[in-house]
Chains A and B, each alone.
Chain A
Amino acid sequence: MDPRQLQLDDEGRLKHFLTTDGLDRALLTEILDRAEGFLGVARQAVKKVPLCRGKIIANVFFENSTRTRTTFELAAKRLSADVLNLNISTSATAKGETLLDTLRNLEAMNVDMFVVRHADSGAAQFIAEHAAPFVSVINAGDGSYAHPTQGMLDMFTIRRHKGAFEPLIAVIVGDVLHSRVARSQIGALRTLGAAEVRVVAPRTLIPALAEEALGVRVCANLDEGIRDADVIIMLRLQRERMNGAFLPTEHEYFQLFGLTEQRIDKAKPDAIVMHPGPINRGVEIDSAIADGPRSVILEQVSNGLAVRMAVMSMCIGTQNLALSTAHRPAEVVEGGAGAATETGAKLEAETEAQIATDAKLLEPGLEADLTGQSRLQRWSQLGPQLAGQPEPDSRRDASLDQTSLEQTSLDQTSSNQDGTLHG
């Protein structure tokens, strides 16, 4: 299926986040703006917002990962979701269970969102195609295809430092052939309008027809590739590439493609250095650079949290909108429809009251103007200003507001007013 159709609902809202391919600039900007709002959550006394309260988010990792899984877990918890962590690589598949079986089992537990990492390109899309309605899928890295939240957190980091994308020259150095991170970065940079994207690596690590297929300029020489660059992204070099006849030695690789103090002089003076981590010091990057003033590597990690919160809350918001307009058969319980509705309404009222109480705890002393919506909107208004960005287009913005209204459902009346005021 066309990934664009799959990822968006009929109104163009994000339902799954599988790849940056096929998503337009407005939507990517919306993700960045929203993440800007969430950045503040970490600085609050209570580091939580109730946007995914009552939702179950399952981190389903078919490939080992600690860092990515941890940031997803933390993002989900800050959104007040319940989190399940499943490392499938060692359990189910070893017993011969198919991916679809694993998926059905988790759906039977009424999971609302899967965060999936898998060694096969296209795995996240496969899961999204076969997931039940009202279940969102977020790709946490599939094969060599995509790692869109990493791509977006890198865009977020770039925007915070550089503002507009249009004048930027970005260079990606390293194993582009096997890198899902590079593919997502390239896709996002091009959609967001970067002036030029270059990739630098020996020919063994550049995929076929990269210029045509990815819209990048290929450089075999780091000095040439780095010239006048605003953003330098170093990719991790997997040690196993040494065995597959891709590279002769780490030593020669570092000599030719490692980022050092001398080399970085060719870039713009204010160039930033990024790395998706974990870094190999002395293989792709000199410690002096990794720890130096141009490095934004640790900032990428903090930003990752905000971007993942943004994407997760957007997908859950789209789900909630769909849920509010569609009847969900699973909600029919024994004891007759009337009783079920009554209990349901009562529960909902209690939940809302609880959420409203929680909201007051968020920023003590500021209860007066506090509803989750107005706060969120302040963030999303603030975001672009902080980054020196133009406002996103109003149509998109309006739909964003509606999404956030539905998902927080703190106070229906005031949120509607907020929505109209903002739109």
Chain B
Amino acid sequence: MAERRLSIQQGRIIDPATGLDQINDLHLIGGRIVAIGAMPDGFEPQRIIDATGLVVCPGLVDLCARLREPGLEHKGTIESETRAAAAGGITTLCCPPDTNPVIDTPAVAQLIRRRAKTRGQARVLPVGALTKGLAGLQISEMAALKEAGCPAVGNADRTISNTRVKRRALEYAATFDLTSFLHPADHDLSEGGLVHEGRVSTQLGLPGIPEAAETVAVARDLALAEQTGARVHFRGLSTARATEMLAEARSRGIAASADVSAHQLFLTEDDLYGFNANAHVIPPLRTQRDRDALRAAVASGAISAICSDHRPHEPDAKLAPFPQTRPGISALETLLSLVLELVADGVMNLSSALARVTCNPAEILNRTTLGRIEVGARADLCLFDPNERWRPTPEHWLSQGQNTPFFGRELHGRVRYTLSNGRLVYERA
């Protein structure tokens, strides 16, 4: 595991950031890439990985993955979930601030980073709270949070219904060049809702979350971004209309970006039939038309990143009548495969698709050294077999949360090796 000198030979190296796409060798010393192509003089690898037939890409950067530590260790731990991340080719992940205690003090941010360093298999970047206790009333000590390693600030899924507080929070974050991650949902319109308000909510008698819950919030936040000049990032869009609004705002130069949770590109409200608790997610699964528009927005770049939105749960969290179940999918281990599925479906080419999970999210985090393959860069790498077909099963699942609707579904492309900082953190024969 701890080889200092390593060669990865004959892999198809794809680096979306630089446009590199060639079959070549990669040489690492002490966690850094020292050469692409010919072996440097005097380099004697301690281990050679034969990457013939594999794609070698930057380790994935995931903008939203809940590790559940501290506070909810019965759902997952930094150790268990970063191990799952490694199996999914993810080497950097951001955890939202809704831990317990909330990441609104440097101490909690440092605790998470320290634990990730000692027990983790991936780089963990905590997202700081935008408001104290995520209560939406008082802005948090963002300068201190940045100092403690938070690359961005956000309010997780908690809405800030007071528009004045939100405006001040965005301005204050902008003072320290921090991007604000925003949950695109209007508090009053989404309160009490469970699923997309539409055909299926009507048939199943489940309280709906209307499209307007998202568009009203996006409209408001875009107006605030325009007013303040602050950089905002919409964490998890779900509607066609909101992607249009975003694209229009970006064309006017507003500093707004967005990502989408991978499952939103595959599932729709129809997956709720039979009260399927594994399709209970936030924001809710919407219509086929929305799904298609999200795919188009990812392809056009209006939505520049795809994230796992990993939310592991203990079994009981999903073993209840639908309205009592907790939302979310355990998603680290399927992220790459789903992204590759988009390539198979003709939505994007391989390099563009990989950009959505590597350099693009790194750019949103303002950490442009991550998510790329360059001489001198840290060796965060994912090696995957693009042709391997597999079905996720509970027996071979590493996350503590087994809540996924993708068990049993055939997926294309699977991780073989993951290197984090030059260290082999996942390997599968």
Chain A positions near chain B (C-beta within 8 angstroms):
1-3, 21, 98-100, 118, 120-123, 125-126, 130, 142-146, 180, 183, 207-210, 212-214
Contacts and interface: CB of A to CB of B under 8 A. Distances in A.
Nearest to B199: A213
B204 interface: yes
Interface residues of B, number: 23
A122 B204 contact: yes
B409 to A, nearest CB: 17
Interface in B183-235: 197-208, 210
A121 B321 CA distance: 7
B385 to A, nearest CB: 34
B205 A146 contact: yes
Given A99-B321, A209-B198, A180 B205 contact: yes
A121 B202 contact: no
Interface of A is mostly: mixed
B324 interface: yes
Contact of B321 (A2, A142, A180, A214): A142
B324 A120 contact: yes
Given A126-B275, A208-B198, A209-B199, A98 B204 contact: no
B345 interface: no
A123 B319 contact: no
10 contacts: A2-B274, A98-B320, A120-B324, A121-B323, A122-B321, A142-B321, A143-B323, A144-B205, A207-B208, A208-B202
Contact of A207 (B201, B274, B322): B201
Contact of A125 (B197, B275, B323): B275
B316 A122 contact: no
B273 interface: yes
A243 to B, nearest CB: 13
Contact of B319 (A21, A98, A209): A98
Nearest to A209: B199
Contacts of B322: 120-122, 126
Given A1-B274, A122-B275, A143-B205, 6 more contacts: A120-B321, A121-B323, A122-B322, A143-B206, A145-B204, A207-B202
Interface string B313-329: 00010011111100000
A130 B277 CA distance: 14
Contacts of B324: 99, 120
Query: Ordered nearest first, which 9 A-B pairs have the shortest CB separation?
Result: A144-B205, A122-B275, A145-B205, A123-B321, A207-B202, A120-B321, A213-B202, A122-B322, A213-B199
A76 to B, nearest CB: 24
A144 B206 contact: yes
Contacts of A214: 202-203
Interface of B: 197-208, 210, 273-275, 316, 319-324
Contacts of A143: 205-206, 321, 323
Contacts of A118: 321
Contacts of A126: 275, 320-322
Contacts of B323: 120-122, 143
Nearest to A187: B203
Contacts of A146: 205
A408 to B, nearest CB: 34
B284 to A, nearest CB: 13
Nearest to A130: B319
A208 B321 contact: no
B30 to A, nearest CB: 51
B203 A213 contact: yes
Nearest to B276: A1
A210 B210 CA distance: 14
Contacts of B201: 207-208
A137 to B, nearest CB: 12
Nearest to B324: A120
B174 to A, nearest CB: 36
Nearest to B316: A98
Given A98-B316, A120-B322, A121-B321, A212 B205 contact: no
A212 B273 contact: no
B49 to A, nearest CB: 44
Contacts of A125: 274-275
B274 A3 contact: yes
Contacts of B206: 121-122, 143-145
A208 B287 CA distance: 13
Nearest to B287: A209
Nearest to B320: A99
A183 B274 contact: no
A8 B234 CA distance: 45
Contact of A121 (B198, B274, B275, B320): B275
A208 B197 contact: yes
B202 A100 contact: no
Nearest to A184: B205
Given A2-B274, A3-B274, A99-B321, A121 B203 contact: no
B199 to A, nearest CB: 4
A144 B322 CA distance: 12
A142 B206 CA distance: 11
Contacts of A99: 320-321, 324
A137 B198 CA distance: 29
Given A1-B274, A213-B199, A100 B319 contact: yes
B208 to A, nearest CB: 6
Nearest to A179: B205
Contacts of B200: 213
A343 to B, nearest CB: 38
A208 B205 CA distance: 11
A21 B273 CA distance: 11
Nearest to A2: B274
B289 to A, nearest CB: 13
A118 B320 CA distance: 12
A213 B202 CA distance: 6
A121 B205 contact: yes
Which of B205, B208, B275 has the most chain A CB atoms inside 10 A of its CB?
A: B205
A210 B200 CA distance: 10
A1 B203 CA distance: 15
Contacts of B203: 21, 183, 213-214
A126 B316 CA distance: 13
A145 to B, nearest CB: 4
B416 to A, nearest CB: 36
A148 to B, nearest CB: 12
B408 to A, nearest CB: 14
A71 B198 CA distance: 35
A229 B81 CA distance: 60
Nearest to B206: A121
A122 B202 CA distance: 13
Nearest to A146: B205
A210 B202 contact: yes
Contacts of A209: 198-199, 202
Contacts of B202: 207-210, 213-214
Contact of B199 (A123, A130, A183, A212): A212
A183 B205 contact: yes
Nearest to A62: B321
A130 B210 CA distance: 31
Nearest to A214: B202
Contacts of A144: 205-207
B208 A121 contact: no
Nearest to A143: B205
Nearest to A176: B202
